């Protein structure tokens, strides 16, 4: 029975052994339950804390080259009085400036000794490097990866001091310093253990990495050779971080460093807070020298704007305000902008130097666009964000009213029009141009194009009235429309909806008609004048005919008188001829005056009404009568305008 029990127990142990090994392996890679580690352990590939677990380490952990420690969201890693060290650590103690000292502990070594410095870079002899020992020996212009110096330690000493001078522009120094005496006793000093003056501990690639999405707590511990990135919450208190810088606090994370020491960084800063990361840095010591204690760096620096082709420029940007980049805005996906963050220096907006001096960016962003309407510029303070928006302040030009002088107008004659133009934008407009159309075609206006520069431009928030005249070459009802000229092909084309709020405002309808349709009086006047002219011509013809008949009658009277009364007629005829000749001249003159004064009505007495058969006496009376008749005709002409004579000239013959 006892044998059977023993066999059963052995079988159980054999079956359980693989399970136990599996648990140990799982615990080495994935920690998903809360636990505490107190034994020194080596993790060749690292481990992951997940599933909300808390892993507390109170021991020395050794990490293999390239190992990764992950802390998932909701999980926690607590290092308390622990040490995390990576194998294959790369670091060197750089000589800062042209002169440095290195203090080497050599207690226990005596006599002749060799000091070997394994350098971070291969020397060519051009560095003007000289190393002098406090014991009097020196070496000048060495070359290669190692510098050796023979010294005499005598009966022994505590410290051997090396004075170093050089003239090399780039950082370099020893990764390890070894001192070996004649008895083969050796002291090895890693770079991070070296002490002296004007030295900067500089680290190469990290030996392992720590990726924190959850929570990391480092208390009274030491971490060497890590690449620490915190996206969750990280607290470092009273601890030493050697060769584990820069510590990166990602955007949205929280990092606090209190009463701690950071020695050696792979870059020019010990801590980098990205974008809006929360950072607390109190009572702590950094690498120093040219290495900043911490910086705030933007993950990018993109500036978007509303104006394609505009010049976007920065002033006093970046680290110590030394950068002023600029570029023309171009299409970036669905937006328009530029990338001003190609240089890391341009993206550093806040910093604490190795000497403890705080600084921050105090720059500006400016957007400038040159257009046919003028040059528009907007300047704003630079914001500490990976993406910022700087929209150009633009005018907004609108024709808000068109008032016509009359609702009716004459074709080809000018009609007064008053435009009201408003600038409701945020910028003054120096020289916008307006145009007017009728039925989609260019209108005949004066001026043809309304240039606001003529009126001194239009200030933001103001409006003005602009007079012009409008003509139409055809009749009918027409409407005048006015607005901003077509912006196609101009810098403002892409922002047309931002600079004008209308596509053409219309005025009241105007009825255009030809001049003869409006005024018929001139044609009537012409007809009346023509009729009067014809009447005048007829009157002149009648007067001329009457005068011809009178001359013929006088000749007949003279012939009959000579036959009856020869002597008397001769004497009286001569006298009558003389008087008749005078009378004829007077008749002609009076007839001309009478024709002018009696255009409206002819005289009542015709010249031939005085012809009789009374002989010589009639001739004498006729001569006198001619003068009287002519005088009477002159007097009667004006009085007889109202009524024509009742006796026709031919009734008295």
Q: What average pLDDT does the segment 373-384 reach? A: 95
The two tokens of residue 589 are 């003159």
User: pLDDT tens-digit profile of 257-276?
Assistant: 999 999 888 899 999 999 99
The answer to whether residue 572 scores a pLDDT higher than 50 is no
Residue 372: DSSP 8-state: T
Q: What pLDDT was estimated at residue 645? A: 44
Q: Which of 389, 283, 412 is nearest to 335 (CA)?
A: 389
Decide: residue 11, CB within 10 A, 0-12 exposed, 13-18 middle, 19+ buried. Answer: exposed
pLDDT tens digits, residue range 298-312? 999 999 999 999 999
State CA 626 to chain mean position distance: 106
pLDDT at position 362 over 70: yes
Confidence check: pLDDT of 650 > 90: no
Cα–Cα distances in angstroms (integers) from residue 304 to residues 55, 235, 377, in the given order:
46, 37, 15
Interior CA angle at 200 toward 196 and 203, to 5°?
130
User: For the chain, what percent of residues have pLDDT higher than 70?
Assistant: 74
115-129, 232-246, 323-337, 585-599: lowest mean pLDDT where?
A: 585-599
Rounded distance between C-alpha atoms, residue 238 and residue 217, angstroms = 11
Q: What is the largest CA-CA distance in the chain?
A: 218
SS3 239: coil
Are 145 and 124 spatial neighbours (Cβ–Cβ below 8 Å)?
no
Name the DSSP class of 88: S
> What is the pLDDT, as a whole number, of residue 551?
56
Give the per-residue pLDDT at 523.
56
Distance CA 517, CA 526 (A): 16
Q: CA geometry: angle at 100 spanning 96 and 106, to 5°? A: 125
Q: What residues contact residue 459 under an 8 Å CB cut-off, 6+ apart?
A: 423, 428
* pLDDT higher than 70, residue 134: yes
Which residues on adjacent β-strands are paired with residue 117?
147, 177
Cβ proximity of 101 and 196 under 8 Å: yes
CA distance 304 to 218: 41
**648, two tokens:** 């026709």
* Residue 531: predicted pLDDT: 57
Q: Does domain 91-200 have CATH number 1.20.1420?
A: no
DSSP count for the chain of H helices, then E strands: 7, 54
Does the pTM surpass 0.75? The reply is: no
Which of 58, 28, 57 has the alpha carbon at shortest distance from 42? Answer: 28
Q: Which residues contact 371 (CB under 8 A, 6 or more apart)?
A: 490, 491, 492
Nearest to 358 by CA among 310, 319, 391: 319
Q: Judge whether 311 and 326 are in contact, CB under 8 Å.
A: yes
The pLDDT of residue 515: 87
Q: Can you tell me which residue has the tokens 């804390």?
A: 49
Mean pLDDT check: name the lowest of 46-55, 409-418, 569-578.
569-578
Of 185-199, 373-387, 555-569, the least confident: 555-569
Q: What is the model's pLDDT at position 526?
A: 60
Express each pLDDT in 169-208 by its tens digit: 888 999 999 999 999 999 999 998 899 999 887 888 899 9
The confidence band for 501, taking pLDDT boundaries of 50, 70 and 90, is confident
Structure tokens at 578: 């003389």
Average pLDDT of the chain is: 81
Give residue 435's Cα distance to chain centre: 25
Single out the residue of 276, 286, 282 nearest to residue 250, CA to CA.
276
Instruction: Please give the average per-residue pLDDT across 40-51, as a whole number.
Output: 96
Task: For residue 45, name the pLDDT band (cuts at 50, 70, 90).
Answer: very high
Radius of gyration of the chain (CA): 62
What confidence score (pLDDT) does residue 555 get? 54
Residue range 566-579: average pLDDT?
41
489 CB-near residues (< 8 Å, 6+ apart): none
pLDDT-based confidence at residue 624 (cuts at 50, 70, 90): very low
Residues 6 or more apart whose CB falls under 8 angstroms from that of 573 comprise 558, 561, 562, 619
Q: How open is the CA angle 21-23-27, to the nearest 5 degrees?
A: 120
Mean pLDDT of 234-250: 96
What is the topology classification, in CATH, of domain 397-517? Immunoglobulin-like (2.60.40)
Q: What is the pLDDT of residue 1?
A: 42
Cβ count within 10 A of residue 356: 10
H or E segment to which residue 496 belongs: helix 496-499
Neighbours of 276 (CB within 10 A): 15
């Amino acid at each position: 029975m006892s044998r059977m029990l023993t066999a059963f127990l052995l079988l159980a142990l054999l079956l359980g052994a693989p399970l136990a090994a599996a648990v140990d392996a799982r615990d080495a890679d994935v920690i998903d339950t809360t636990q505490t580690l107190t034994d020194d352990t080596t993790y060749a590939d690292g481990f992951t804390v997940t599933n909300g677990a808390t892993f507390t380490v109170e021991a020395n952990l050794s990490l293999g080259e390239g190992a990764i420690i992950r802390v998932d969201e909701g999980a926690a890693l607590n290092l308390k009085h622990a040490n995390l060290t990576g194998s294959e650590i790369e670091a060197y103690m750089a000589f800062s400036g042209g002169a440095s000292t290195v203090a080497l502990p050599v207690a226990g070594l005596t006599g002749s000794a060799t000091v070997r410095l394994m350098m971070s870079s291969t020397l060519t002899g051009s560095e003007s490097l000289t190393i002098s020992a406090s014991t009097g020996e020196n070496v000048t212009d060495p070359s290669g990866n190692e510098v050796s110096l023979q010294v005499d330690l005598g009966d022994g000493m505590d410290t051997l001091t090396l004075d170093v001078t050089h003239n090399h522009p780039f950082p370099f120094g020893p990764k390890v310093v070894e001192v070996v005496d004649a008895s083969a006793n050796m002291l090895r000093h890693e770079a991070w253990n070296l002490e002296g003056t004007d030295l900067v501990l500089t680290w190469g690639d990290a030996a392992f990495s720590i990726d924190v999405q959850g929570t990391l707590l480092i208390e009274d511990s030491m971490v060497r050779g890590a690449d620490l990135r915190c996206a969750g919450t990280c607290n470092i208190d009273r601890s030493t971080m050697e060769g584990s810088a820069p510590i990166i606090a990602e955007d949205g994370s929280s990092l606090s460093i209190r009463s701690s020491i950071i020695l050696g960084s792979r870059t020019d800063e010990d801590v980098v807070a990205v974008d809006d990361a929360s950072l607390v840095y109190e009572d702590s010591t950094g690498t120093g020298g040219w290495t900043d204690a911490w910086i705030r760096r933007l993950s990018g620096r993109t500036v978007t704007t509303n104006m394609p082709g505009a010049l976007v420029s920065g002033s006093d940007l970046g680290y110590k305000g030394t950068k002023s980049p600029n570029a023309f805005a171009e299409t970036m996906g669905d937006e328009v902008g530029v990338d001003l963050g190609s240089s890391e220096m341009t993206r550093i907006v806040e910093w604490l130097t190795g000497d403890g001096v705080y600084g921050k960016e105090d720059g500006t962003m400016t957007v400038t666009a040159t257009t046919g309407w003028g040059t528009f510029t907007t300047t704003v303070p630079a914001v500490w964000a990976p993406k910022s928006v700087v929209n150009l302040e633009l005018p907004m030009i609108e024709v808000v009213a068109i008032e016509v002088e009359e609702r009716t107008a004459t074709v080809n004659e000018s009609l007064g029009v008053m435009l009201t133009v408003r600038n409701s934008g945020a910028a003054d407009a120096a020289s916008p141009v307006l145009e007017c159309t009728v039925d989609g075609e260019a209108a005949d206006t004066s001026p043809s194009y309304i240039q606001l520069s003529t009126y001194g431009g239009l200030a933001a928030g103001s409006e003005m009235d602009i007079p012009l005249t409008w003509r139409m070459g055809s009749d009918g009802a027409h409407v005048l429309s006015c607005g901003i000229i077509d912006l196609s092909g101009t810098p403002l084309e892409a922002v047309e909806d931002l600079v004008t709020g209308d596509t053409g405002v219309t005025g009241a309808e105007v009825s255009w008609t030809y001049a003869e349709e409006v005024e018929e009086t001139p044609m009537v006047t012409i007809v009346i004048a023509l009729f009067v002219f014809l009447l005048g011509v007829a009157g002149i013809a009648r007067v001329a005919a009457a005068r011809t008949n009178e001359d013929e009658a006088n000749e007949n009277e003279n012939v009959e008188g000579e036959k009856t009364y020869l002597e008397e007629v001769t004497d009286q005829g001569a006298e009558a001829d003389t008087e008749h000749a005078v009378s004829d001249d007077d008749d002609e003159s009076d007839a001309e005056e009478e024709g002018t004064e009696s255009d409206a009505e002819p005289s009542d007495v015709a010249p031939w009404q005085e012809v009789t058969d009374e002989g010589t006496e009639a001739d004498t009376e006729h001569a006198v009568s001619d003068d009287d008749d002519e005088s009477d005709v002159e007097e009667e002409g004006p009085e007889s305008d109202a009524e024509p004579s009742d006796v026709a000239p031919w009734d008295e013959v």
